[in-house]
């Protein structure tokens, strides 16, 4: 059995989540079981969620209520995040998956919705074969330390700065 990896996609450039979903696509091709848990974002008709329904071996959970800088109630955000985190723990410990993606999880530790030490313990004790991808800006240095592969997406340009709004099929 090959040892699974802990992978982090971080940085301020575009491509953290989509690179993770690309890996899911690759893993599914090999018959791997994949679970995606998306934090922060609220359920909506995102292209990736619509696509996910087409894959039998792909499970998708959306455990958020929108981006926190728009939040009207941080306590509610925290409760939703905690619930998502409990689900993540359950999925990780189930040993039913080959790849689990924790999308935008860095916000949970950065906003102190969850304890970084608790996340580190879970990652350090994950089932051997399981690969885990964590995405989000400003990944904590303690996460970077224990990860096997860390990539920083660096913004060179983003069309958003030229006033081009989020584009269907590209951003959502
Ligand atoms: P993607 O989902 O496109 O791979 P991402 O996961 O790297 O992006 P997030 O921080 O999760 O980036 O951003 C959420 C949304 O903001 C996405 O629609 C993404 O395309 C867009 N985005 C990413 N980077 C930037 C940026 N530097 N400036 C403006 N918008 C961005
Ligand atoms: Mg993202």
Q: Does residue 155 have its Cβ closer than 6 Å to ligand 1?
A: yes
Domain holding 42: CATH number? 3.40.50.300
Q: How many C-beta atoms lie closer than 10 Å to residue 26's C-beta?
A: 12
Residue 156 sits in which domain range? 6-162
Statement: residue 162 has pLDDT above 70: yes
Mutation test of ligand 1: which of 14, 42, 163 has the most ligand atoms closer than 8 Å to its C-beta?
14
130 and 94 Cβ atoms separated by less than 8 Å: no
What is the mean pLDDT of the segment spanning 2-16?
A: 97
pLDDT in tens, 96-131: 999 999 999 999 999 999 999 999 999 999 999 999
Residue 1: inside a domain: no
Residue 48: inside a domain: yes
What whole-number distance in Å separates Cα of residue 93 and Cα of residue 10? 24
Residue 122: inside a domain: yes
Residue 169: inside a domain: no
Report the predicted TM-score, pTM, of the whole model to 2 decimal places. 0.95
The pLDDT value recorded for residue 69 is 65
Tell me what the pLDDT averaged over the chain comes to. 95
Statement: residue 43 has pLDDT above 90: no
Residue 171: inside a domain: no
The pLDDT value recorded for residue 75 is 87
pLDDT in tens, 17-33: 999 999 999 999 999 99
The pLDDT value recorded for residue 89 is 98
Residue 10: inside a domain: yes
Task: Work out how many domains the chain is built from and give that number.
Answer: 1
Q: How many C-beta atoms lie closer than 10 Å to residue 66's C-beta?
A: 14
What is the mean pLDDT of the segment spanning 84-89?
A: 97
Statement: residue 48 has pLDDT above 70: yes
What is the mean pLDDT of the segment spanning 149-160?
A: 97
Higher confidence at residue 1 or residue 24? 24
Q: Does residue 167 have its Cβ closer than 6 Å to ligand 1?
A: no
67 and 132 Cβ atoms separated by less than 8 Å: no
What is the mean pLDDT of the segment spanning 40-55?
A: 92
Residue 95: inside a domain: yes
The whole-angstrom distance between residue 42's C-alpha and the CA centroid of its chain comes to 13
The pLDDT value recorded for residue 67 is 66
CA of 104 to the centre of ligand 1 (A): 11
Residue 172: inside a domain: no
CA distances to 20, 72, 143 from 95, rounded to whole Å, are: 20, 37, 21
* Nearest ligand 1 atom to alpha carbon 12: 27
Helices in the chain by DSSP H: which ranges?
A: 16-29, 47-52, 74-94, 106-110, 116-124, 141-146
């Amino acid at each position: 059995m090959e040892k699974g990896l802990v992978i982090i996609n971080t940085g301020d450039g575009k491509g953290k989540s989509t690179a993770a979903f690309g890996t899911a696509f690759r893993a599914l091709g090999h018959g791997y079981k994949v679970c995606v848990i998306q934090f922060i974002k609220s359920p909506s008709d995102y292209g990736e969620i619509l696509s996910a329904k087409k894959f039998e071996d792909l499970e998708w959970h959306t455990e958020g209520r929108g981006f926190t800088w728009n939040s009207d109630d941080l306590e509610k955000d925290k409760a939703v995040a905690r619930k998502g985190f409990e689900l993540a723990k359950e999925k990780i410990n189930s040993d039913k998956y080959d790849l689990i993606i924790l999308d935008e999880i860095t916000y949970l530790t950065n906003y102190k919705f969850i304890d970084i030490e608790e996340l580190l313990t879970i990652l350090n004790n994950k089932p051997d074969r399981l690969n885990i991808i964590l995405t989000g800006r400003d990944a904590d240095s303690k996460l970077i330390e224990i990860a096997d592969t860390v990539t920083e997406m660096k913004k060179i340009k983003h069309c958003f700065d030229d006033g081009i709004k989020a584009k269907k099929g590209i951003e959502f």
